Structure 1
Amino acid sequence: MRAYNKSRIVGQLLFVALGITFIYYLFTPSVSHSNAVKPKARKADINSINVYDMNEITASANARENKEEVLILSPIARFYPEYWKNLLKLSYPRNLITLGFILPSTRDGTKIHRDLRAAVQSVQKGPISERFADVKIMIQDTGLSSGQSEKQRHEREVQKERRSKLASARNALLFSALGPKTSWVLWLDSDIIETPPTLIEDMTQFNKDVLVANCFQRKGEKLVPYDYNSWIDSNVAKELASKMSKDDILLEGYIELPTYRTLMAHLHDENGDQKTLMRLDGVGTTALMVKAEVHRDGAVFPTFPFYNLIESEGFAKMATRLNYEVFGLPNYLVFHYNE
């Protein structure tokens, strides 16, 4: 009796299974085996592997002859057509230049992006011989306002926050755009509207780790110093810093807090040799040439007080701490937009 029940149960289960199978094939669309794609074992594409020997990257006094690649980086809060026109006048081969920009993700940033993109496309869609090697545009909420006047941007009370945000934008741009074959990084502020066409050749010929030009403004026939962030430290400044909280920053160019540092802006000699060099402890970024290895080694723009310095001045301190040398060219001028 038990054997009979077992066989009966097994038979019923087989019947149910056959019924389910019949229903499945009845209502499931048929697949043409001729059109079916059979899975294939993926072969490793050797061309997808890029190997870079970083020991072969040079940054020398003969940058052009050695075909050394230059990355020009510019945070942009406003788009100045004069900046772009000046950029196009640079004599360094464009096939060795990569451009990198970072724009604010704001309504103003949208217009900046439109203007910049139009300017870039006018070149990159032109003759191959006139195109840049690459152009990278980053859009990020930088927190920097494009609606402030020059006076508002330089008020002492806003400097810590403003320059912290600017340092953050610079770092984001650097990390995103720096390539494995980059030899030099030229930081060129987007409001620099006039430089010698040979700017890159002129600055790389010194073969310095960090080198900054002197930034002035043209006001009629008069030349006026603009950037006061390039300086030699003083004992007074060191004493002031020693009494500060680690969260405070020591700023340059403010009457209420005299540092008595030696400012490169004040050492310009109109009849002096453009190749005159001076060692610096702080730098601005209006036109700053940096060997890529300095950045790769860890020198960036501190977003926080670093030895009571921040952003570009903090970068100079960081580079020095990494045993790199920092220099300036007091008689070599670039010019800032005159608002």
Structure 2
Amino acid sequence: MEKMAGITETYSARVRRGLPFRRQRTPDAGADGAAKYIEVLGHDYPPQAAAMPSWLPKTAHGHGAQLTNESRAILANNDDVAPYTAEPDADSLLILTPVKNNAKHLARYFALVDKLKYPRSRISLAFLVSDSTDRTQQMLLESRRWYQEQAPAELRFRRFEIYRQDFFYALARKQRHLREKQQERRIMMARARNYLWTRALQGEQWVLWIDGDLDYYPPNIVRDLMAHDKDVIVPNCLVRRRQVRGRWKHSVYDRNAWQETPESLALIARLKETDFLVEGYKSLKTHRRYLDGFPKNETIVPLDGVGGTFTLVKARVHRSGVGFPTWLFQHQVETEGFAKLAKANGFGVFGLPYYYIRHVVD
């Protein structure tokens, strides 16, 4: 490897000269005079111990006695890579929230997160701002500055990340819940979710998807959901609406959390591959069982679809490649498609019919 002015030649310089980009061992001495591994990007890698790492199988006649030169080269690569391959950090939690024009709800969002009874040092936050035209992005930047730089140490998160990715998708608010707009709308939401988890997930053990406009959830909810030790689990998300004579009534908000029934499976059997199913419309009765349709003694139930209002996922589900389909998978996309895909890959999906959280009124 050539030197330029006493330093290792950079990647861009080697590319301009048509030279290969690779890591080599060079006899470049450090302060103590020992040889170092040097990468052309400038990162130093100390030499590995001569003994074969303990996690590699030993040959019958000693360490590497029967190995070919090619095998030794492969094992040398293992020496370099292994220190950067880590197991997920126990009980670490990554909270993911896609947001769009969410400025009016951010104060409540952080007030609820602040009340979580979970070690702050184990929580990371990541937001994806998409197609926003209000102060959402600026408010998140201000929040990160306060939490991570100005707040007392006990209030700081492990990580606080903000991403921006515009999809240039606009839908008038009055059209947001039109049935004919749901497939395209949900596909865009799936794209946002996939962008966020693939960018933000690092060594966390758990991933928690939270809507940016929730009204309430219990402070101990993370521990409560984790205690069930399920791959994917959701509480029952309600919404409170004022009725006649000034009374309030709670009803299920997240109709995307459901269980298939014999009637719904019979309907599916008659569908074309290109048919998209969506919940909550009187013009299309899917015959599925929602979380308000279970008796009191069924405190945890298997589900076939979930929403994204408050969804706790073991990070290994995402790491296995299960994301949010942007194509029709078993007639679903986005979160319901995620549940179907998770089950198809052998993971369990569950809901808690009588564990309640609340969403703001749309």
**TM tier, shorter chain?**
0.7 to 0.9
Cα distance in 2 for residues equivalent to 1:156 and 1:318: 23
Comparing 170-179 with 247-256, greater Cα deviation is found at 247-256
Cα distance in 2 for residues equivalent to 1:194 and 1:145: 28
Among 76, 80, 85, the alignment partner of 2:111 is 85
TM normalised by structure 2 equals: 0.73
Comparing 230-239 with 205-214, greater Cα deviation is found at 230-239
Alignment of 1:314 onto 2:337: yes
Higher gyration radius (CA): 1
Question: 1:53 Cα shift?
Answer: 4.5
Q: 1:254 to 1:137 in 2, by over 3 A?
A: same
Q: Deviations over 1:196-236 (max 9, x none)?
A: 01121111111001101110112354322211011111233
Q: 1:319 to 1:105 in 2, by over 3 A?
A: same
Q: Give the match for residue 57 of structure 1.
A: 88
Question: 1:87 Cα shift?
Answer: 1.3
Contact 1:228 1:265 in 2 (8 A): no
Comparing 231-240 with 293-302, greater Cα deviation is found at 231-240
Question: 1:163 Cα shift?
Answer: 0.2
Contact 1:225 1:266 in 2 (8 A): no
| Residue pairs, 1:173-192, within 5 angstroms | 173-179=196-202, 181-192=203-214
Bigger proportion of residues as helix: 1
Cα distance in 2 for residues equivalent to 1:187 and 1:106: 19
Alignment of 1:284 onto 2:316: no
SS in structure 1 at match of 2:308: coil
Cα distance in 1 for residues equivalent to 2:141 and 2:293: 38
Among 165, 179, 182, the alignment partner of 1:140 is 165
Q: Deviations over 1:249-283 (max 9, x none)?
A: 1111211111111111444x7xx58x910111111
Cα distance in 1 for residues equivalent to 2:321 and 2:354: 30
Question: 1:52 Cα shift?
Answer: 4.5
Among 114, 127, 130, the alignment partner of 1:101 is 127
Q: Deviations over 1:22-42 (max 9, x none)?
A: xxxxxxxxxxxxxx9445648
Q: Whose RCO is larger (CA < 8 A, sep 6+)?
A: 1
Contact 1:184 1:291 in 2 (8 A): yes
Q: Give the match for residue 216 of structure 1.
A: 238
Aligned residues: percent identity? Answer: 36
Among 216, 233, 252, the alignment partner of 1:225 is 252
TM normalised by structure 1 equals: 0.78
Q: Give the match for residue 282 of structure 2.
A: 255
Cα distance in 2 for residues equivalent to 1:119 and 1:236: 48
| Residue pairs, 1:1-339, within 5 angstroms | 37-39=5-7, 41=28, 43=36, 44=38, 45-46=44-45, 51-54=83-86, 56-57=87-88, 67-77=90-100, 78-79=102-103, 80=105, 81-108=107-134, 111-125=135-149, 126-145=151-170, 148-149=173-174, 152-179=175-202, 181-219=203-241, 221-267=248-294, 276-339=299-362
Question: 1:248 Cα shift?
Answer: 2.1
Q: 1:103 to 1:50 in 2, by over 3 A?
A: farther
Q: Give the match for residue 22 of structure 1.
A: none
Cα distance in 2 for residues equivalent to 1:158 and 1:240: 22
SS in structure 2 at match of 1:254: coil
Comparing 39-48 with 246-255, greater Cα deviation is found at 39-48
Cα distance in 1 for residues equivalent to 2:351 and 2:168: 30
RMSD across aligned positions (CA) = 2.4
| Structure 2 segments unaligned to the other structure (5+ residues) | 9-27, 30-35, 39-43, 47-79, 243-247
Question: 1:51 Cα shift?
Answer: 2.8
Bigger proportion of residues as strand: 2
> What is the number of residues matched between the two proteins?
286
Cα distance in 1 for residues equivalent to 2:159 and 2:88: 18
Q: Give the residue type in structure 1 aligned to 2:136.
A: I
